[in-house]
Chain A
Amino acid sequence: MLALADHPAVQGGVAPLIVALVVAVALARTRFAWLAIVAGYATMVALSTGFSFSPLTVARKTVLLGLAAPLIGIAIDLGPRPSRAMMTALAVAAGVASIWVFMSILTQRDTLKGIAAGGGIAVFVALLVVSTLRLRDDGLRGGAAGLGLGLATGIAGVLSASIGYLVAGVSIAAGAGALLLVQVLLSRKIAPGVIGMLPVGLLTALFAAGALMLAELPWYALPLLLLVPLAVTLRAPERAPIIVRAAVLAGYSLVAAAVPILAAWYAARGSLS
């Protein structure tokens, strides 16, 4: 049993999926069903590296922000409906937080290179967070985006030589997949709210930036990830059964996710073959 828990497929995929399914089903009738995302992610952390925060590395700061994101989401979702300006401010705060996450690496670079890298990462994180927060009212589009972003960051991560980012990305995909499944089984959408979409956007953005800074993901894969939340806003057959809509949106998301994956593949192999 212990040996099974050591396998990356279990740590990143199977265990987070099971835990996210349980949490999503248990909380399906509340506003907190999307806590399943962070439950799946926390399961991956517990099985792969454990919860340790000293020294406070990039990976550990990412875990801290991942755990804080749903708490911020709860505080916002329990209040009056947030304005667009508030969502933008939240995305900017996420961008600033990303500079804190990567500060130990940025300060080792030449001043200009450090500023350029930090600024680029902050803008990317803010854009991905705001793009995912826009999906907070639609559980199917939010779930499809989480599925695509998780798989894209995970597969691009392993192509960049990091098993850690593979299991991290796949755990988000597993959580989002679990939520899509629960919505299909219950035949009703469950709005993610900020509780659901802030962790999806923030964590996948930090995984991609981490694979850039700590592994070998090419920089141009980052803007290509923004295609995923954009793709799930395409039209879906609104009158079709929920399973059909979920499948169509997941299809859009996976096609868009293939683009940054191909970019990582190209960077690793020097060709697309």
Chain B
Amino acid sequence: MSKSLALLFLAAVPYTAAAAPESFTVDPMHSSVNFAIDYGGLNIIYGKFTKFGAKFTMDRAAKTGSVDVTIETASVDSGDSDKGSRPRSRDDHLRTADFFNAAEFPRMTYKSSRVVFTGDNPSAIEGSLTLLGVTKPVALTIERFKCNPATATAKERCGTVAVGKFKRSEFGMTRGIPTINDEVALTISVQGILD
């Protein structure tokens, strides 16, 4: 009996090794970090960050994972980068101390503390957003998660869309409230390639 158990254990070893945490590096060409903010109840201003890096890990057997996103705040792009006949564009303004304060805080980060799985797939991320030197918990809901082999490399790739909301005033970004809404919607849409 004990011999059978030992054989069973040895047979399981390769599968345990295969289920070790996998690490993915985000492919920026197929990824984006976006935000949306209500402007005076009139419309919604959409923006994105063009420079960011992200990694995520996943242990499907243990149903654990981690997410680490670093965003260069000076890369903010709200679709108004050409000042035209005005002294400055909206993106110029967003980079100043009125909003992202990119000179003093060149990076904002999101780090997970826990990835929640529903069934075999991750469904939510608990973590902290650091913006303007302030770190606060921000939860993200994973709207979709899918993996398949990348066409070019045959390496596994996983794509996900994670959404969340936070109040910018909690991070000290108060300019323009309430005309420019306090609540910001964040969408992280990434494809990661298995390292």
**Chain A nearest Cβ from B147, distance in angstroms:** 38
The closest CB in chain A to the CB of B169 belongs to A50
Q: How many residues of A contact B (CB 8 A)?
A: 29
The answer to whether the Cβ of A265 comes within 8 Å of any Cβ in the partner chain is yes
Within 8 A of A (CB), among B81-102: 83, 85, 87-88, 92-93, 95-98, 101
Number of A-B contacts (CB under 8 A): 73
The closest CB in chain B to the CB of A213 belongs to B103
Pairwise interchain contact B103-A105, C-beta atoms closer than 8 A: yes
**Chain B nearest Cβ from A46, distance in angstroms:** 12
**Chain A nearest Cβ from B174, distance in angstroms:** 6
The answer to whether the Cβ of B164 comes within 8 Å of any Cβ in the partner chain is no
| Known A164-B98, A214-B96, A215-B97: A58·B88 in contact at CB below 8 Å | no
Complex-state Cα separation, A59 to B178, whole angstroms:
21
Q: Which applies to chain B's interface (DSSP): helix, strand, loop or mixed?
A: loop
The answer to whether the Cβ of A88 comes within 8 Å of any Cβ in the partner chain is no
Pairwise interchain contact B133-A269, C-beta atoms closer than 8 A: no
**Chain A nearest Cβ from B173, distance in angstroms:** 10
Pairwise interchain contact A163-B88, C-beta atoms closer than 8 A: no
Pairwise interchain contact A161-B103, C-beta atoms closer than 8 A: no
Pairwise interchain contact A164-B97, C-beta atoms closer than 8 A: yes
Within 8 A of A (CB), among B130-157: 132-134
Q: Which applies to chain A's interface (DSSP): helix, strand, loop or mixed?
A: helix
Complex-state Cα separation, A164 to B133, whole angstroms:
18
The answer to whether the Cβ of A6 comes within 8 Å of any Cβ in the partner chain is yes
Within 8 A of B (CB), among A207-224: 210, 213-216
The answer to whether the Cβ of A187 comes within 8 Å of any Cβ in the partner chain is no
**Chain B nearest Cβ from A150, distance in angstroms:** 18
Binding site for A on B (CB under 8 A): 83, 85, 87-88, 92-93, 95-98, 101, 103-104, 106, 132-134, 172, 174-179
Binding site for B on A (CB under 8 A): 3, 6, 48-50, 52, 55, 57-59, 104-105, 108, 158-165, 210, 213-216, 265, 268-269
